[in-house]
Amino acid sequence: MKIIMLGAPGAGKGTQAIMIADKYGIPHVSTGDIFRANIKNNTPLGQEAKTYMDKGMLVPDELTVKILLDRVAQDDCKNGYVLDGFPRTIVQADVLKDALNKLGDHIDHAINVDVPDENIIKRMSGRRACVKCGATYHIEHVPPKKEGICDNCGEALVLRDDDKPETVKKRLDVYHEQTQPLIDYYNKEGILKNVDGTQEMNKVFEDITKILG
């Protein structure tokens, strides 16, 4: 099963993608996590991506598409994957579609986690992330067992540089301009499914599992 998660930054795509990956036994592929791991390890890719990410801008398509296609070509993606944060532009969606078409393959579901902008800013300021394993927490809604420490791997949690309110505002503008058109794109493809992302996270997941079966 190949799944795309759509939604504004902070809508809960990553939270749901991790639960989907666990339930259906497929890898969670997050371009944001790949970039953050590269930033942490100070690779040339990380250095380049950081210049865009810190400003709330998208990393250029050329670079992002290559990273993603390399990742999904790996062995563990053979039976499917859940994409979180990719595609974010029509160009990226077209490249993915063409690459899959060449293999006689396609995306099965594009799940749009719908959350209005008003809720997003609150969620992002409370988000705490683990750069080691990709787990995400919220200081009020999804707190870790021990404050500031990842439940899964014991790493110290961080407030992402791009979760500061001024950058979040820019990311939302970029989302509306460049990523939201993908809702229409996948609707036309006949694979769009909407879920109400303002609900409690287990309820959102229940709605998603009804769609995925």
* Known catalytic membership, residue 123: no
**Greatest extent of the chain over all pairs of C-alpha atoms, in Å:** 47
> In whole angstroms, what is the distance from residue 186 CA to residue 4 CA?
10
Cβ atoms 126, 18 nearer than 8 A: no
* Binding of ligand AMP by 38 (CB under 6 A): no
The region of 85-93, 108-116, 120-128, 192-200 touching ligand AMP under the rule CB under 6 A is: 85-93
Cβ atoms 9, 120 nearer than 8 A: yes
Binding-site member from 2, 3, 4, 9 for ligand ADP (CB under 6 A): 9
Instruction: From the candidates 13, 36, 71, 123, give the one annotated as an active-site residue.
Output: 13
Cβ atoms 104, 97 nearer than 8 A: no
Q: Which tokens belong to 13?
A: 């795509």
* Known catalytic membership, residue 160: yes
* Binding of ligand ADP by 67 (CB under 6 A): no
Least distance (Å) from ligand ADP to the CB of residue 51?
Answer: 20
Q: Which tokens belong to 126?
A: 């409370």
- Backbone φ and ψ for 143, nearest 5 degrees, come out as -75, 145
Q: Which tokens belong to 185?
A: 């794109």
Binding-site member from 48, 52, 132, 212 for ligand AMP (CB under 6 A): 52
Could you list the residues that contact ligand AMP (CB under 6 A)?
A: 9, 31-32, 35, 52-53, 57-59, 64, 85-88, 92, 162, 171
Could you list the residues that contact ligand ADP (CB under 6 A)?
A: 7, 9-15, 123, 126-127, 136-138, 141-142, 200-201, 204
